[in-house]
Structure 1
């Protein structure tokens, strides 16, 4: 089996994540795959950083007409995807979190699937608030499993963190953190019982989705991203062997991508995505891969800086010549903000003109004006 280096892995993945030819918001979102969006602005920043046509109005319209849908899919974490992909994410979430729900709710006499079905029925007719879903879950547990003794602190988040619900802001814009409402996905997007009936097929579809959007991918990458056990993913990869091509990575793992992948991808990440891009927190270049394999995009010591161990938050990455070499932030409040890009020591300091060009994507993504764009070195 051929080998592949970290720079080659990065360049091939970057070519998938920053496609040169796409057809509108739906085409772009389909090509790059689900965006992790527990920070609501992330979808806006992620799409505008990858295109010249995406902007706040077009992304908002895509949410409103259900071209894009947001829900607690993939590891029970909020993601945005195109509507056609959502059933796959729903089933991956069910496969991955059933055991965790049983433990966290302390279920004794009931099954998580029955609770999910009850929540789906409750949220089928209209948008439900988190408090309404919590009350429904509490009443269901009291009636069906009164001996359950789960962690109340965790349990209060579970009613809306399974894949079959989608969410929208009940007030404020889609880019904000306004109060959310939840609705049963099948009520708006169509029946998905066929997916529920064949979980193995859905897992294979999830594997193909990952390698198409993020490949080359290892079993460990896909398992981490999907929140599904490694053995389940490895079985699916084996079943898809005729559709995949494999190489040995620099860490000794096998990496696969679709059999019809083009061979013209550059070997140098700087050629794949030259210049500066301002990416959102929890961007796929970090969160679509198992942590130890993210070094294709970021040095391990810099990866530790990107994530806060105190609150689990991620700094928005600064991508320079295809590599994460820092982060950026908006300072101030209201519509007028100041943007500062921070570079890690020992990395290329991008000219301020490059940062300013990249910052225009931020003003297309969000309803803000920039009072200034500055550069700084990260200080510990």
Structure 2
């Protein structure tokens, strides 16, 4: 069995993720990562900034909203991602379909709990049909605008305790639109707010993509997602893939067999790569990178010890396992970055990394400060290290 040690895994990561040589454009960078995390809207732009030399905000928005070669879709782990357009049918038939079933169950619970209907299935089917009918004109609309057209979306439900951060009373409309999105029947169109904020308009998928795209069979869809994950993140463990995919071991094992994946030895266990992808990789020169919250590199594996000191996890991830911003040196996470009141990016290190690394990271911070041009990023998923640095 071929042995791929941690040094080689970090070299693979550096090259395949566009963090040393870069990618030529935003589409190739997204393909290189399989998908981009989009739960925080700014993550998409910042993840591409880190991988595409000279990229502009206009480049990203053009791919998302003009050319529509990148599309936002709720999928793995009930998380919002940016997909290359051609990967959507695979996701619709597998990971997104799984999430859609979960989303419908949650929506039904909200409908009954709020007293909106005794038969939640009939209510959901009726309201979804009404929303799609109102969207038949192809005009992008926010959830607020759709609530004006479909009164049922105004129904409200309670979630959690009102005195908690995430508790209170909420309109059911957002859950309806999320369900339609998970099912692939609508997509997030042009953003109605600033690029760093998640304020989508909604458009029917058949209007936005203007072509018939049929969901793949479940097994074929999962196999394609796993194939692309291995090309991006391999070698990885079964545990990594199960977590990233938000699926079961049975699903993952079948997909690994379907793509003909092969096992390799790792420093701390056994991993998987695509057949023929076990050739040695040359080392790379030391490199620096600043990555955003929930960056796809940071969130690509569940077992992260080959690039992250386990002792740093409580400082750089929140209690739910969501990564904050990260600072990288030579294939390892060494800290995070924050902005001060003047929107200047500042690197916060976990330990002394030496003069060369410090200088390189400070250069990246200056580059990012200039690119942001005074814009301050608001992070929902701020790590303890980020919060402490801001307070300090």
Q: TM-score range by the shorter chain?
A: 0.7 to 0.9
How far apart, in 2, do the equivalents of 1:355 and 1:209 lie?
A: 30
Give 3-state SS (helix, strand or coil) of 1:340's partner.
strand
Aligned-pair CA distance for 1:204: 1.0
Which of 327, 330, 335 is matched with 1:321 structurally? Answer: 330
Give 3-state SS (helix, strand or coil) of 2:323's partner.
coil
Give 3-state SS (helix, strand or coil) of 2:345's partner.
strand
What is the match of residue 229 of structure 2? 210
What is the match of residue 82 of structure 1? 84
Where in structure 2 are there 5+ consecutive unaligned residues?
Answer: 110-118, 161-168, 377-384
Give 3-state SS (helix, strand or coil) of 2:333's partner.
strand
> TM-score by structure 2 length?
0.76
What is the match of residue 246 of structure 2? 227
**Equivalent runs, 1:14-29 vs 2, <5 Å:** 14-18=14-18, 20=21, 22-29=23-30
How far apart, in 2, do the equivalents of 1:226 and 1:136 lie?
A: 36
How far apart, in 2, do the equivalents of 1:22 and 1:329 lie?
A: 25
CA change 1:97–1:171 in 2 (3 A) is closer
1:304 and 2:314 matched: yes
1:257 and 2:273 matched: yes
Give 3-state SS (helix, strand or coil) of 2:269's partner.
coil
- CA deviations over 1:16-73 (Å, ceiling 9, x no partner): 1126374422222222221112221212211121232322232232223213222333
**Equivalent runs, 1:91-130 vs 2, <5 Å:** 91-106=93-108, 110=121, 118=129, 123=135, 125-130=138-143
How far apart, in 1, do the equivalents of 2:247 and 2:291 lie?
A: 26
Aligned-pair CA distance for 1:110: 3.4
Give 3-state SS (helix, strand or coil) of 1:71's partner.
strand
Deviation larger for 183-192 or 315-324: 183-192
How far apart, in 2, do the equivalents of 1:193 and 1:277 lie?
A: 37
**Equivalent runs, 1:322-337 vs 2, <5 Å:** 322-332=331-341, 336-337=342-343
Aligned-pair CA distance for 1:282: 0.5
How far apart, in 2, do the equivalents of 1:369 and 1:150 lie?
A: 33
Which of 338, 357, 362 is matched with 1:356 structurally? Answer: 362
CA change 1:234–1:363 in 2 (3 A) is same
Where in structure 1 are there 5+ consecutive unaligned residues?
Answer: 143-148, 371-376
**Equivalent runs, 1:234-313 vs 2, <5 Å:** 234-241=253-260, 244-253=261-270, 255-261=271-277, 263-266=279-282, 271-272=283-284, 274-290=286-302, 293-309=303-319
How far apart, in 2, do the equivalents of 1:85 and 1:102 lie?
A: 23
Does the 8 A contact of 2:76 with 2:99 survive in 1? no
How far apart, in 2, do the equivalents of 1:49 and 1:206 lie?
A: 24
Aligned-pair CA distance for 1:364: 6.2
- CA deviations over 1:331-360 (Å, ceiling 9, x no partner): 21xxx5222101113655655531232135
- CA deviations over 1:126-172 (Å, ceiling 9, x no partner): 323234567899849x9xxxxxx999869664334343232245433
Deviation larger for 71-80 or 110-119: 110-119
Deviation larger for 313-322 or 256-265: 256-265
CA change 1:95–1:224 in 2 (3 A) is farther
Deviation larger for 212-221 or 91-100: 91-100
**Equivalent runs, 1:34-183 vs 2, <5 Å:** 34-65=35-66, 66-106=68-108, 110=121, 118=129, 123=135, 125-131=138-144, 139=152, 157-161=174-178, 162-163=181-182, 164=184, 165-173=186-194, 175-177=195-197, 179-183=199-203
Aligned-pair CA distance for 1:123: 4.2
How far apart, in 1, do the equivalents of 2:151 and 2:285 lie?
A: 49
How far apart, in 1, do the equivalents of 2:62 and 2:191 lie?
A: 16
How far apart, in 1, do the equivalents of 2:295 and 2:285 lie?
A: 15
How far apart, in 2, do the equivalents of 1:297 and 1:283 lie?
A: 14
> TM-score by structure 1 length?
0.78
Matched residues, number: 354
What is the match of residue 374 of structure 1? none
How far apart, in 2, do the equivalents of 1:191 and 1:112 lie?
A: 30
How far apart, in 1, do the equivalents of 2:264 and 2:123 lie?
A: 39
Aligned-pair CA distance for 1:225: 1.6
How far apart, in 2, do the equivalents of 1:301 and 1:116 lie?
A: 49
